Amino acid sequence: MAERNPGCDLDLAWVENSYINLPSVQRRAATLTSSRTVKKQWQAAWLLRAITCTDLTTLGGDDTDGNVVRLCGKAAQPLRHDISASLGDWTKELTVAAVCVYPSRVPAAVAAARKADNKYGVAAVATGFPSGQYPLSTRLEEIKFAVASGATEIDVVINRTLALLNKWEELYAEVQAMREACGDAHMKVILGVGELGSLTTVYRASLVSMMAGADFIKTSTGKEGVNATLPIGLVMCRAIRNYHERTGFRVGFKPAGGIRTAKDSLAWLVLIKEELGNEWLNRDLFRLGASSLLTDIERQLFHHVTGRYAAAHELPMP
Ligand SMILES: O=C[C@H](O)COP(=O)(O)O
């Protein structure tokens, strides 16, 4: 694991004097997908990398321990054995980075991960996910419950109200308290970008979260109307880069919400490579939060290996 970001004092002047130019962000984001294409064995290699960085997610009101355990089976063995064998023996060891579940489902996920020698992590969403509209005391209790249940990573949501009202000191204090409640569990801070109103607010909330000790910043819960988009991702990566330049600490990035196709995952990998560099292209510093992405990646790898697309029954999801 990379050295954790300990955070730093809140630099309010830096936060309040930061502005984002929307047209230039849009222009740069548009070049990302047009400037680089990866094909054939290189594409297969990138897709395998995407799998290792995936937080395989189920966050449904109808989740049960049964479907969480099936998801964990997929986390431990993301590809069908024969596809895996054709891609090389080393892929037998391939797992996703983590499974991501609600706090009440953590014990089942932890038990399943233990049976797979903890080759992947167990992440829990917390702090009044997805809205964060609850008292701080209960939000912190949720973190403690998930950590006590064995979660190794906690995906917390910020209080968007504070960000929208530019109450940066209060937001900083809340995220600091969340980091303390997480203890040794790594903390991913979800900004809920679709509800932040502007890219400038996204940049400022990114900075404040990192100053307060985020190990990762994450775009979305998957429940907002707008989730992970490349322009928003670009702004967050620039914030991560600027924070690293000033403090020397590396913070990870997790786009999440609406990432469904292998092509989407390649675009996100290109963004990371171009904006943060190869150093960020691993599960310690990059995650893709997704519930259905793996299905399409497996489908594309099946095509790479066999030359044809699989019928639905050939690649059943758990
Ligand atoms: O944190 C991950 C998201 O909730 C997943 O969203 P998704 O279902 O759109 O892939």
Kindly give the number of the ligand 1 atom that is closest to the alpha carbon of 290.
10
pLDDT digits (tens, 9 = 90+) for 228-280: 999 999 999 999 999 999 999 999 999 999 999 999 999 999 999 999 999 99
Supply the angle between the helices 199-211 and 230-247 in degrees, to the nearest 10.
40
Kindly give the number of the ligand 1 atom that is closest to the alpha carbon of 221.
4
Q: Give the neighbor-by-neighbor strand order of the sheet with 98-101.
A: 252-254, 216-218, 186-190, 153-157, 121-126, 98-101, 54-57, 288-290
Quick check: helix, strand or coil at residue 157? strand
Q: How many A from CA of 58 to the centre of ligand 1?
A: 8
**Residue at token pair 């895996």:** 84
What is the band of 317 on the pLDDT scale with cuts at 50, 70, 90? low
Residue 278 is encoded by which pair of tokens? 């190869």
Q: Which of 57, 101, 261 has the most ligand 1 atoms within 8 A of CB, as the residue to mutate?
A: 57
- The torsion angle over the Cα atoms of residues 306, 308, 311 and 315, rounded to 10 degrees, is 30
Q: Which of 78-87, 119-128, 187-196, 247-256 has the weakest average pLDDT?
A: 78-87
Q: How many A from CA of 247 to the centre of ligand 1?
A: 31
What is the band of 227 on the pLDDT scale with cuts at 50, 70, 90? very high
Q: How many A from CA of 46 to the centre of ligand 1?
A: 21
**Helices assigned H by DSSP within the chain:** 12-16, 22-35, 40-52, 65-76, 81-87, 106-115, 136-148, 160-164, 168-182, 199-211, 230-247, 262-275, 293-306
| Residue 87 neighbours by CB under 8 Å, 6+ apart | 44, 48, 79, 301, 305
Q: What letter would DSSP give residue 98?
A: E
Q: Which residues are catalytic?
A: 218, 254
Q: Which of 46, 148, 53, 142 is nearest to 96 (CA)?
A: 53
What's the Rg (C-alpha) of the chain? 19
Amino acid letter at 59? Answer: L
Q: What is the pTM of this model?
A: 0.96
Kindly give the number of the ligand 1 atom that is closest to the alpha carbon of 260.
10
**Which residue's CA is the nearest one to ligand 1's atom 10?**
290
- Ligand 1 environment, Cβ below 6 A: 57, 59, 100, 221-222, 256-259, 289-292
| Residue 173 neighbours by CB under 8 Å, 6+ apart | 212
Query: What integer is the mean pLDDT of 210-235?
Result: 97
DSSP labels, 302-315 = HHHHHSSPPPGGGS
ipTM: 0.96
Q: Going from the N-terminus, what domains does the chain have, and what CATH number goes with each?
A: 12-307 (3.20.20.70)
**Distance of CA 47 to CAs 91, 177, 313, Å?**
12, 37, 22
What is the predicted pLDDT for the residue at 318?
61
What is the predicted pLDDT for the residue at 122?
98
